[in-house]
């Protein structure tokens, strides 16, 4: 059973967009553009974050590229709807090659993003059990990429084979033309999302437990093993909120597509109702915009690299920050407060405890950078 019915005329024929139509499409356009810019910026941050292993940098980069391409397809949808608002709804159903092209562009990146997130969790699961060689891409990471892009290509071919040549009134953004295909796709993605959450939860809990064991018996584990386990815990903790948000947002988007297509085909639809249903197409861009922000805010070294990149892009902001602290009295008060907040040494007689030597974060970053570099 297909979504479209045999109609001789379209809903809202020759009706153009109102003020709310153009305002809504402009807001979604800004959201998609923001998602593209943030993910491109995040890719630059990842490539400069040499404290991370090359495997994770490669996979995180490809995930952000997939989100950027999805947002680009959403941006093409926005241009299509803006053009429709100017020219008006068609009188009769017709073939829409722009709709087919946009959907074909969206399908492979959509599938690849989901599979790469699962692959990154599998890569961290393997990294918990064996030391990953530094400075080179592991064989199983290459296998994950091969399987991911093969699956994305098969999904795209399956979509193209099920394309319908039936004329439509308006491009509504669903990736399959028949209801059964959409339901199968929703079931498969629901299983993948559930498996992803379970996998990352297991890796997060297991890596945290092993880190506690490292604190009890440090001499039992090598330096490479400790660094790799800390990195696994940090990356999994960084990605967990993004994965949960993606599961909620993307599943809501897919499940809304079926009733929205039925509603848009009803004879009682109005322009206001059509505008409200368009809000569902902003959901993928919400997660695409939130993903780089979540990752940068939850990872210390990425946050430092992002701040450094922003200072390079906007040097006047850095000079303004320096000028605001150029007052000698303020500088003296800041130095006094920093001195007062420095923990004082205590004698062993006053507080008998184990003495621990901790490095400053910037020194730790330098050590990790040299640790992951390829030896000459």
Per residue in 18-51, pLDDT (tens digit) is: 888 899 889 999 999 999 999 999 998 888 876 6
Q: Among 62-66, 73-77, 342-346, where is mean pLDDT lowest?
A: 342-346
Distance CA(45)–CA(61), nearest Å, equals 9
Contact between residue 104 and residue 176 where contact means Cβ atoms under 8 Å apart: no
Contact between residue 122 and residue 199 where contact means Cβ atoms under 8 Å apart: yes
Distance CA(224)–CA(131), nearest Å, equals 7
Does some domain include residue 322? no
Distance CA(191)–CA(200), nearest Å, equals 14
**Domain of residue 24, CATH code:** 1.20.1070.10
Helices (H), the chain: 19-48, 54-87, 97-127, 139-161, 179-216, 223-264, 271-277, 283-298, 300-313, 315-324, 328-341, 361-372
User: How confident is the model over 171-204, as pLDDT tens digits?
Assistant: 765 555 567 777 888 888 889 899 999 999 998 8
- Listed residue (269, 275, 267, 276) closest to 84, CA to CA: 275
Does some domain include residue 339? no
DSSP code, position 50: T
Q: Is the model more confident about 237 or about 325? A: 237
Which stretch, 11-15, 29-33, 322-326, 351-355, has highest mean pLDDT? 29-33
Distance CA(168)–CA(171), nearest Å, equals 7
User: How confident is the model over 308-323, as pLDDT tens digits?
Assistant: 888 887 776 555 545 5
Going by pLDDT thresholds of 50, 70 and 90, the confidence category of residue 104 is confident
Residues contacting residue 35 through CB under 8 Å, at least 6 positions apart: 67, 68, 71, 74, 285, 288, 289
> What was the pLDDT predicted at 132?
66
Question: Which domain range does residue 306 map to?
Answer: 19-313
> What was the pLDDT predicted at 38?
94
Q: Sort 333 into a burial class: Cβ within 10 Å, 0-12 / 13-18 / 19+.
A: exposed
Distance CA(19)–CA(186), nearest Å, equals 34
Does 122 have pLDDT greater than 70?
Answer: yes
Does 284 have pLDDT greater than 70?
Answer: yes
Going by pLDDT thresholds of 50, 70 and 90, the confidence category of residue 325 is very low
Our count of domains for the chain comes to: 1
Going by pLDDT thresholds of 50, 70 and 90, the confidence category of residue 220 is low
Does 361 have pLDDT greater than 60?
Answer: no
Interaxial angle between packed helices 97-127 and 223-264, expressed in degrees from 0 to 180 and rounded to the nearest 10: 150
């Amino acid at each position: 059973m297909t979504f479209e019915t045999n109609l001789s005329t379209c809903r809202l024929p020759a009706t153009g967009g109102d003020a709310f139509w153009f305002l809504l499409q402009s807001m979604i356009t800004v959201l998609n553009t923001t998602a593209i810019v943030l993910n491109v910026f995040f890719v630059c941050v990842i490539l400069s974050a040499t404290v991370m292993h090359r495997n994770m940098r490669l996979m995180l980069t490809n995930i952000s590229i997939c989100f950027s391409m999805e947002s680009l397809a959403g941006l093409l949808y926005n241009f299509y709807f803006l053009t429709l608002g100017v020219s008006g709804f068609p009188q009769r159903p017709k073939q829409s090659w722009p709709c087919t092209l946009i959907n074909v562009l969206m399908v492979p990146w959509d599938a690849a993003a989901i599979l790469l997130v699962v692959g990154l969790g599998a890569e961290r699961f393997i990294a918990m059990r064996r030391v990953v060689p530094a400075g080179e891409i592991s064989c199983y990471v290459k296998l994950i990429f091969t399987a991911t892009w093969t699956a994305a290509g098969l999904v795209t071919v399956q979509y193209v084979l099920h394309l319908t040549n039936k004329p439509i009134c308006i491009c509504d953004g669903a990736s399959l033309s028949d209801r059964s295909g959409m339901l199968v796709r929703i079931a498969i993605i629901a299983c993948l999302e559930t498996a992803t959450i379970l996998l990352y939860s297991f890796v997060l809990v297991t890596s945290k437990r092993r880190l506690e064991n490292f604190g009890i018996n440090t001499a039992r584990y090598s330096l490479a093993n400790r660094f790799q386990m800390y990195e696994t815990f940090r990356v999994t903790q960084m990605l967990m909120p993004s994965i949960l948000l993606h599961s909620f947002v993307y599943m809501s988007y897919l499940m809304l597509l079926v009733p929205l297509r039925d509603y848009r085909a009803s004879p009682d639809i109005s322009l206001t109702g059509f505008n409200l249903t368009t809000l569902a197409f902003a959901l993928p861009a919400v997660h695409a915009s939130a993903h780089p922000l979540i990752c940068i805010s939850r990872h210390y070294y990425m946050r430092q690299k992002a701040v450094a990149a922003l200072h390079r892009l906007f040097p006047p902001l850095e000079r303004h920050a320096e000028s605001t602290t150029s007052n000698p009295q303020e500088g003296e008060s800041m130095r006094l407060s920093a001195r007062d907040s420095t923990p004082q040494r205590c004698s062993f007689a006053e507080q008998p405890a184990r003495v621990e030597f901790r490095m400053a974060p910037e020194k730790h970053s330098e050590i990790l950078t040299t640790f992951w570099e390829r030896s000459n």
